[in-house]
Amino acid sequence: MKRALVTGANRGIGLAIAQGLVDQGFEVLMGSRDPDAGRKAADKVGATAIQLDVADPSSIAQAAEQAGPVDVLINNAGILGSGNLLDDRQDFADSMAVMVHGPYLLMHHLTPHMVAQSYGRVVNVSSGWGAFSDGVAGPAAYGVAKAALNALTAATARTLPNSVKVNAMCPGWVRTRMGGAGATRAPEEGADTAIWLATLDTNGPTGGFFRDRKPIEW
């Protein structure tokens, strides 16, 4: 049975990804900053909760040790700030911590096992708002952080062997606390491409950016 760690998994897209992987027979570890919310969500899905604050390097190190070897990592946790990019230094720092530095550290801790066993899948939940092709259109620091996550995806895929596949994906506009009630997609629709990338076979792509299981421009 393959083991997967999903960050930001207690609600929204992360919860839908966790449920989808459980349904496919994975042992799923659900990372959540709020331990109570994490436990409730994990009990609902049939997974295991891990306390994980992706903005805190010590929390990441502790969670990685607690998780042990994993075959699949889904870097899903994210935050959405507001205001002027150059005015809010804290939002910039927080966005980079959650959506760039956190995923980097999780890959640092967890990919050595994947390399050693010649199998691994890393999925970075990004956004079209971080695409240069769309003008890095996200509000505040969000788009900049997602663009950096995309760059990290491409560089990591080049660094790791092809047996450890690293890809980014855009879930689209999803009805979550971040996306709002007016969004056009259900969390399960947003999660589909992430689940597909998490379960790629040997011939699957690496170093790509996808939406609806199709490549999109960086």
The rounded distance, in Å, linking the Cα atoms of 82 and 88 is 9
Cβ pair 193, 171 in contact under 8 A? yes
Enzyme catalytic residues: 142
* Number of Cβ atoms within 10 Å of the Cβ of 88: 16
The rounded distance, in Å, linking the Cα atoms of 116 and 133 is 36
Spans of all domains in the chain: 3-215
Query: With 70 as the cut, is the pLDDT of residue 33 above it?
Result: yes
Q: What's the mean pLDDT in 41-52?
A: 97
pLDDT tens column, 99-148: 999 999 999 999 999 999 999 999 999 999 999 999 999 999 999 999 99
Q: Give domain 3-215's CATH number out of 1.10.150.120, 3.40.50.720, 3.50.50.60, 2.160.10.10.
A: 3.40.50.720
The rounded distance, in Å, linking the Cα atoms of 17 and 15 is 5
pLDDT band at 185 (very low <50, low <70, confident <90, very high): confident
- pLDDT over 70 for what percent of the chain? 96
Highest mean pLDDT of the ranges 74-88, 102-116, 185-199: 102-116
Query: With 80 as the cut, is the pLDDT of residue 181 above it?
Result: no
**Block residue for tokens 């997609």:** 185
Cβ pair 94, 81 in contact under 8 A? yes
**Higher pLDDT, residue 184 or 4:** 4
| Contact residues for 36 (Cβ-Cβ < 8 A; gap 6+) | none
The rounded distance, in Å, linking the Cα atoms of 143 and 127 is 8
Query: Global pTM?
Result: 0.96
pLDDT tens column, 16-30: 999 999 999 999 999
* Number of Cβ atoms within 10 Å of the Cβ of 78: 24
Strands 209-211 and 214-215 turn out to be: antiparallel
